[in-house]
A and B are shown apart, each in its own frame.
Chain A
Amino acid sequence: MEYFLKLFLSGTAKGSIYALIALGYTMVYGIIQLINFAHGEIYMIGGFTALIFGGFFFSKGMPVGFVLLFSVLLSIIYAAAFGYTIEKIAYRPLRGKPRLSALISAIGVSMVLQNFVLLAQTEKFLSFPSYLPEFKWLQPYKEYINSTQLIILGVTAVIMVLLTFLIKFTRMGKAMRATAQDMHMAQLVGVDINQVISVTFILGSALAAIGGVLICSYMGQINYYIGFIAGIKAFVAAVLGGIGSIPGAVLGSFVLGWTESLGTGYISSDYEDAFAFIILIVILLIKPEGILGRTQRQKV
């Protein structure tokens, strides 16, 4: 039982890592039905930005709390600017064109960003300092969960609640839902869909940046390629939960995390990916729109 609990918690921690990235995927898909393959790269750039600014602030001898706050803030701004720009130059001109064109454009952006970081920064793995606090009271339970995992879990929950609130109860959320349902109709009733889509990308990229800082702190390392690997798993999680649905992305991520963790614990880690994709196939066979795909009518 204790062993099961350990595996379950490590699956939960893993799931919350996937969820941080999957949320951004699902938001963008919910609005414009585009699988934003560049999302993983924004996450990686968010991590790099925090590393660079964090290193700069540390070298100026500033306190840890200050470094954490400002490097996260700056990386959010930087990543949001990236998201905004990418949408403007790579996706907006293709709006209304066949959906495949935008998809291919997204893959192109992903490669450009990866290679940009490879050339502008480094091809090597770099050490990522842990900016996050360690909770003393968690020490006795360190075999079950550690501080960073708990913080990631907490942040994921907060973001999910905030996003749901934003979409359900704010003016912008209403405009997003309208855009998601019918872009032309929304335009006719006076919704500035360009602005709505830009805001969606800015939000999604900001989430990716937060994910980048947290996950890199957990891994203790960063490299230009981490976005690609994390992006694939997060994408699977988003599809599993019902792409376009915010709670679905989080639930899908947890299901994926638990499957991988329990599969590793009771069978073998050799087949970790096999478990992940078997569960995906099974769920898509039973419910093609994902776990929460249908119940969440407003696809946002």
Chain B
Amino acid sequence: MKYHDIYSSQKLASFIIYAHILHMRKEEYKMKRRNMVLAVFAMVSLLVLSGTQSVFAAPIKIGVAGSHTGDLASYGLPTVNAAKLVVKDINDKGGINGQKIELVIEDDQCKPELATNAAAKLVSAKVVAVIGHICSGATKAALGIYKDSKIVTISPSATNPPLTQSGEYPNFFRTIAPDDAQAKLAANFLTKTLKLKKIAVLHDKGDYGKGFAELVKQYAEENGIQVALFEGINPGAPDYSAVINKISNAKVDGVVWGGYHPEASKLVQQMKDKGMNIPFISDDGVKDNTFIEVAGKYSEGVYATGPTDTSTNPLAIKAIADHKKEFGAEPGAFFLNAYAATQALLNAIAKAGSTDYNKIVAALQSEYVDTPLGHISFDKRGDIIGFGFSVFQVQNGKYVELK
């Protein structure tokens, strides 16, 4: 966090942790060897079993690729669990058109060079489609290989905008909104719902806040809104009245804030104290209940964008409960996104009635499916429809999603 970076003692702490990790790696390696032996046994026995099964129908192979070891393993492993849960559900119901689903799992440690290896292995294993990869860089490296082999790829977590927007990878889909979706949503909300003509954009000079502010400025200008003021302010300062005077002098009809809630609450408070009642629109960093607690009555009416709320979706509740039952723990990052990705893929294969690439792509783009993320489908570029960011507004001391 930015508030702590003055302490160099943290360097010492990170050194100790690093030494620890090195030690753990050794242990992990031993474990891996043991696991390998087990895995070979398991595979042999599986081959014997599936050998008898394949007499009736060959299984549909689905690849799962991502970081399963290394620093970023915690981002990739929940996806494996999600895929296993969905596949188990489907296989228990008799599979798709009589064919069972089989998962082929490959690790890329979120490294592009390992991702291409993993992709090559999956291609030679003749998978129909891949759930993954996890990190944007690794995904990009692997996508070319899948594209050449006509393999549909659905990532639960790669948010880099050009992956879909460049149009280079027609085989790529994702069940997460791209990085710029939030800013685009905010800009469209300013134009279409609030119908603003002239706005001020402020940010906290940080990566997140400034990035959001710059994108909102870009999209708002594309939508024909005049950005009269674009400025960074000092986070943590006690008083913002000078910049608020400047905003009021510029006669704008809305303020966009890119940053976090402590400054947002000071801004809204000092704006309302000066009798300014123009809309205040902010980002995910403000869509936090702490903002309402701190700003109190001043928070009323503030808009903020944030990921669509899935906590009340019965399918999400069920998926999480299944995970706890099967693996004895809370699911990790991107679990629901991966769950939805696997469901969407298997649904598309079932609806297409075949494992043909073109038919699966067409089905993904036309069929809607009920998932823990909601009722979703994909657009022509491969971005998810029906899940992403929503605009929330503080109403009576609570964030309410605006439909």
The smallest beta-carbon distance between A130 and chain B, in angstroms, is 10
Given A124-B290, A126-B294, are A220 and B265 also a contact pair (CB < 8 Å)? yes
Nearest CB in chain A to that of B275: its residue: A142
Given A125-B261, A142-B273, A269-B242, are A221 and B236 also a contact pair (CB < 8 Å)? no
For B290, give its contact among A3, A10, A125, A218 (CB under 8 Å). A125
Nearest CB in chain B to that of A146: its residue: B273
Report whether A265 and B274 are in contact in the complex, using a CB–CB cutoff of 8 Å: no
The smallest beta-carbon distance between A24 and chain B, in angstroms, is 16
Report whether A273 and B234 are in contact in the complex, using a CB–CB cutoff of 8 Å: yes
Report whether B262 and A223 are in contact in the complex, using a CB–CB cutoff of 8 Å: yes
Report whether A14 and B234 are in contact in the complex, using a CB–CB cutoff of 8 Å: no
Q: Which residues of B contact A198 (CB under 8 A)?
A: none
Whether B245 sits at the interface, judged by CB under 8 Å, is yes
Report whether B233 and A269 are in contact in the complex, using a CB–CB cutoff of 8 Å: yes
Given A265-B246, A268-B231, are A226 and B274 also a contact pair (CB < 8 Å)? no
Given A14-B242, A268-B231, are A225 and B273 also a contact pair (CB < 8 Å)? no
Report whether B239 and A10 are in contact in the complex, using a CB–CB cutoff of 8 Å: yes
Nearest CB in chain B to that of A16: its residue: B239
Whether B249 sits at the interface, judged by CB under 8 Å, is yes
Report whether B239 and A226 are in contact in the complex, using a CB–CB cutoff of 8 Å: no
Nearest CB in chain A to that of B245: its residue: A6
Report whether A221 and B234 are in contact in the complex, using a CB–CB cutoff of 8 Å: no
A264 to B250, CA, bound (A): 13
Report whether A264 and B238 are in contact in the complex, using a CB–CB cutoff of 8 Å: no
For B274, give its contact among A11, A143, A269, A272 (CB under 8 Å). A143
Whether A13 sits at the interface, judged by CB under 8 Å, is yes
Q: Which residues of B contact A264 (CB under 8 A)?
A: 242-243, 246
Nearest CB in chain A to that of B268: its residue: A220
Report whether A215 and B238 are in contact in the complex, using a CB–CB cutoff of 8 Å: yes
Report whether A269 and B239 are in contact in the complex, using a CB–CB cutoff of 8 Å: no
Whether A229 sits at the interface, judged by CB under 8 Å, is yes
Report whether B238 and A17 are in contact in the complex, using a CB–CB cutoff of 8 Å: yes
A264 to B212, CA, bound (A): 22
Chain A count of residues within 8 A CB distance of the other chain = 38
Whether A7 sits at the interface, judged by CB under 8 Å, is yes
A70 to B290, CA, bound (A): 28
Nearest CB in chain A to that of B239: its residue: A14
Report whether A269 and B243 are in contact in the complex, using a CB–CB cutoff of 8 Å: yes
A6 to B243, CA, bound (A): 11
Residues 164-223 (chain A) with a chain B CB within 8 angstroms:
215, 218-221, 223
Whether B269 sits at the interface, judged by CB under 8 Å, is yes
For B266, give its contact among A146, A221, A260 (CB under 8 Å). A221
The smallest beta-carbon distance between A85 and chain B, in angstroms, is 24
Report whether A229 and B237 are in contact in the complex, using a CB–CB cutoff of 8 Å: yes
Residues 246-296 (chain B) with a chain A CB within 8 angstroms:
246, 248-249, 261-262, 265-266, 269, 273-275, 290, 293-296
Q: Give a binary string over A89-102; 1 marks a CB under 8 Å from any B CB, 0 the rest.
A: 00000000000000
Nearest CB in chain B to that of A257: its residue: B239
Given A146-B273, A221-B265, A272-B233, are A11 and B238 also a contact pair (CB < 8 Å)? no
Whether B298 sits at the interface, judged by CB under 8 Å, is yes
A261 to B238, CA, bound (A): 13
For A127, give its contact among B205, B239, B249, B296 (CB under 8 Å). B296
Report whether B294 and A221 are in contact in the complex, using a CB–CB cutoff of 8 Å: yes
The smallest beta-carbon distance between B1 and chain A, in angstroms, is 9
Nearest CB in chain A to that of B202: its residue: A269
The smallest beta-carbon distance between A267 and chain B, in angstroms, is 10
Nearest CB in chain A to that of B261: its residue: A125
Whether B144 sits at the interface, judged by CB under 8 Å, is no
Report whether A10 and B249 are in contact in the complex, using a CB–CB cutoff of 8 Å: no
The smallest beta-carbon distance between A156 and chain B, in angstroms, is 14
Whether B29 sits at the interface, judged by CB under 8 Å, is no
Report whether B236 and A229 are in contact in the complex, using a CB–CB cutoff of 8 Å: yes
Whether A230 sits at the interface, judged by CB under 8 Å, is yes
Report whether B232 and A219 are in contact in the complex, using a CB–CB cutoff of 8 Å: no
The smallest beta-carbon distance between B150 and chain A, in angstroms, is 50
A110 to B401, CA, bound (A): 43
Residue of A126, A219, A261, A272 most packed against chain B (CB within 10 A): A219
Report whether B242 and A226 are in contact in the complex, using a CB–CB cutoff of 8 Å: no
A260 to B242, CA, bound (A): 8
Q: Which residues of B contact A10 (CB under 8 A)?
A: 239, 241-242, 244-245
For B242, give its contact among A7, A219, A270 (CB under 8 Å). A7
Nearest CB in chain B to that of A272: its residue: B234
Q: Give a binary string over A54-79; 1 marks a CB under 8 Å from any B CB, 0 the rest.
A: 00000000000000000000000000
A202 to B204, CA, bound (A): 37
A126 to B293, CA, bound (A): 8
Report whether B293 and A225 are in contact in the complex, using a CB–CB cutoff of 8 Å: no
Nearest CB in chain A to that of B293: its residue: A127
A272 to B346, CA, bound (A): 56
Whether B3 sits at the interface, judged by CB under 8 Å, is yes
The smallest beta-carbon distance between A260 and chain B, in angstroms, is 7
The smallest beta-carbon distance between A229 and chain B, in angstroms, is 4
* Nearest 10 CB-CB pairings of A with B: A10-B241, A261-B242, A264-B242, A229-B236, A127-B294, A270-B232, A6-B245, A14-B239, A269-B231, A269-B243
Interface contacts beyond A219-B266, A221-B262: sample of 17 additional A-B pairs, CB < 8 Å, sorted by A: A3-B245, A3-B249, A10-B239, A10-B242, A10-B245, A14-B241, A125-B262, A126-B294, A218-B239, A219-B239, A221-B265, A226-B236, A229-B237, A264-B243, A268-B231, A269-B231, A270-B205
| 6 CB < 8 A contacts A-B | A3-B245, A13-B241, A142-B274, A146-B273, A221-B265, A261-B241
